[in-house]
Structure 1
Amino acid sequence: MISQRRPPADARRTPSTARVLHQRPPTRMNAVVNVLASEWIKLRSVRSTYLIVVLGVSAVLLGYALAVMAAGMYDDAPPQQRLSARIADLEEVVVIVPQLCMGILGTQAITSEYATGLIRTSLTIVPRRWPILAAKSTVVGALGLITGATAVFGTYAVTRLVLDDRFSGAYTGAFADRLPLLIAISVSVPVFALLGLGLGALLRSSAGAIAIIVGLVYVIPMIIGNIPEPWSERLGSVMIGALPREITGDTITTSVYGSLLPPAAAAAVLASYAALPLLATTLLMRRRNA
């Protein structure tokens, strides 16, 4: 009788078994990357995201239209009026558009999950609350920064091209001199995105969160502008619209906003607009169900 030798144990392992035996457990970095990737997929798979981003970037077209209008009025004015003619920085004017758009995007990024019940699935896969909120903040904030920088720097470029040396050369100065202010204005856009995310998670209502954001941009500054001094100056100094110039040390002379804060304090206030709602959301999410 012919005996058959059994192959060694290693030889009997199938390739799949070998891979399983040598597979490493997922690291913390892999888990972070996976959560970030899932939040990015959620955001870009919604059609409204593209619409909101396009609307935010379209602020460049608004800035171009305002610059063309201002150039036409300057050219038609008498020489004496041209000498005293001044123009506001159009980047600060049109940045309201991407601010509102990114605030709405941040709100929708979280309230849509509560409305559809998808948040329960997310919390089942990732039971701890803060990694999901941190991933959403990273994705929404990054998209807000890209949108804001595109709108602000694009508006500056087209305005400088159109106005040339009009308005006493308001846009003929060195780009390096304007760069800090352009960066500060751009950073205010992702702040609105994170503010919308935090408010949306706190209120679980798109309408309520968006109403607060619109109030911060339009309603509250008008109310503060009609308050007697010195409270008008004090309250206006902590509004988001005042903070970019305060961060760069510029003085606001013709605005409803104030300019009392030093650069470091202004930067801290701007960061608090984004951080405080998210911190409150993180604490509240631990206490209540999805």
Structure 2
Amino acid sequence: MSLRHIVILSFLLFAVAACLPPVGVEQPPAAGTRDELVLATTTSTYDSGLLDYILPDFERKTGIRVRVIAVGTGQALALGKAGDADVLLVHAREREEQFVAEGYAPSRHDVMYNDFVIVGPAEDPAGIRGMTSAAEAFKRIAQAQALFVSRGDDSGTYIKEQKIWQEAGITPQGDWYESAGQGMGAVLNMANEQQAYTLSDRSTFLARQREGLDLEILVEGDPVLFNQYGVLPVTPDKEHDINYGAAIAFVNWITSPETQELIASYGIEQFGSQLFFPNARGNQAGD
């Protein structure tokens, strides 16, 4: 081989090596991944302050900005079906599994859980304080026709509320029952102003209580009040411009041990108690 060929070959090898990433450096998201991710999520993850606490870590690690749309679970799923969101973080498992079965998401992954609580005024006009059955507490509220503010927005909380009314054998209606069509924070404010009862996720209630909410937890601990959150990447198709690479990166990040620890730490310093309990099973998207 001539000296000229050796020089040219050496130059080409150097150029190729310069383009390769150094060993041990975290790689960017897959090719084609845009730098903005649309996350449709339940209002409880937003109103509780959790997203403000954990999302900067994702954005720092991936360089992907997250645009949050905080709505009820039903509306979040609808946004996913319409191709207006890339990934969903919601809390209505049966609806989530149906979403996957219909092909709108390739998979669903557990992320974390907490619980719902029945809250109301300290005076407790319906006398439900300390009851262990959510359905029996709802029966007593209906019998007393004590004011109750419902989400009324097809959210995971509203779906849970309707399940409890069904278990109680009651179709709530009348002047005592107000359907707000609002998020959890707004409903808690309405219940506070009217000194009414409502069903809330514990995390949002504790966050708002710190801000001066004059309501108390009256019923808790019933297994029906368990509140599981799941994450679903939206299935890409030819009709919708889904940022699937970023969605998979988000799923793998939020179910990773590091982020699970971050979720577990939220609330301890801010409110004196843990608000969410991580339970991802370590199954990454694409496994």
TM-score range relative to shorter protein: under 0.3
> TM-score scaled by structure 2?
0.26
Q: Which has the higher contact order (CA 8 A, sep 6+)?
A: 2
Calculate the TM-score normalised by the size of structure 1: 0.26
Which entry has the higher C-alpha Rg, 1 or 2? Answer: 1
